[in-house]
């Protein structure tokens, strides 16, 4: 069994699409997959959330949303605004451990960035990853600010004893400019390893075989795909 925590440098960097890509490739290999979203924010009950997109894109059926809050805030702030209890990361950790007993891969999708607060004690997705001894995949947005945001995320991970499994660019534009192209080498230097994947802009609007093929081409071998980081850089 394996537990993989997917975090990001910020909100809206492509974490959900990366989670779906990981899930569809694992399912295509015949692996059992569970996906956990500890806290969905910015969505009222009944609205389409991140796990609905994961289900649509990947076909995974074993999904768990632990908490949902209507306001687009950190999980702790959203719970406080709604006047309801915060998500218990200890309970999330227990759920993940139970799922890991029967699922070959458990993917945990964070909310926002690594240090978003989940409770009033300051617990974060980084703390959850550490308690689970989980691998951590960092999803980044290319372009201006990407290097700084990634450096801060990796530094925060190191302070918690977490080593990144890899860095994935969550939404690569169809026509990248000099800013996007120039950040690629810097991101690899920060991570001290090649990119683990690059998914194209608009991948979340795909589905079925088209999305599965994009996932295969967009994620590296260690994540179940065929992405070639050297070839990607050579084509920039």
Which of 117, 205, 202, 196 is closest to 150 using CA atoms?
Answer: 196
Confidence of residue 1 (pLDDT cuts 50, 70, 90): low
pLDDT at 148: 96
Task: Inform me whether the pLDDT recorded for 142 exceeds 60.
Answer: yes
Over residues 57-67, the pLDDT tens digits come to 999 999 999 99
Measure CA of the first residue to CA of the last residue in the chain; give whole Å. 37
pLDDT at 175: 95
pLDDT at 91: 97
For the chain, give the mean pLDDT: 96
- Whole-number Å distance between alpha carbons of 15 and 113: 10
- Whole-number Å distance between alpha carbons of 53 and 229: 27
- Structural domains for the chain: 2-234 (3.40.50.300)
pLDDT at 111: 97
Neighbours of 9 (CB within 10 A): 25
| Residues involved in catalysis | 37
pTM of the model: 0.96
Average pLDDT over residues 171-197: 94
């Amino acid at each position: 069994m394996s537990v993989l925590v997917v975090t990001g440098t910020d909100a809206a960097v492509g974490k959900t699409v990366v989670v779906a890509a990981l899930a569809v490739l694992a399912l295509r290999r015949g692996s059992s997959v569970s996906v956990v979203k500890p806290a969905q924010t910015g969505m009222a009950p009944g609205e389409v959330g991140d796990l609905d997109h994961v289900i649509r894109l990947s076909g995974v059926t074993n999904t768990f949303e632990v908490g949902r809050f209507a306001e687009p805030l950190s999980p702790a702030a959203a719970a406080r605004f709604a006047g309801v209890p915060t998500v218990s990361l200890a309970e999330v950790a227990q759920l993940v451990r139970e799922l890991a007993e029967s699922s070959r891969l458990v993917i945990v999708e964070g909310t926002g960035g690594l240090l978003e607060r989940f409770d009033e004690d300051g617990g974060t997705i980084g703390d959850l990853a550490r308690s689970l001894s989980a691998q951590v995949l960092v999803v980044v947005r290319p372009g201006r600010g990407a290097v700084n945001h990634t450096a801060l995320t990796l530094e925060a991970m190191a302070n918690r004893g977490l080593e990144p499994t890899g860095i994935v660019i969550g939404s690569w534009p169809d026509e990248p400019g000099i800013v996007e192209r120039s950040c690629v080498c810097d991101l690899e230097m920060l991570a001290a390893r090649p990119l683990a994947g690059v998914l194209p802009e608009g991948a979340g609007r795909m589905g079925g075989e088209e999305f599965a093929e994009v996932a295969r081409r967009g994620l590296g071998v260690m994540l179940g795909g065929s992405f070639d980081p050297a070839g990607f850089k050579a084509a920039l």
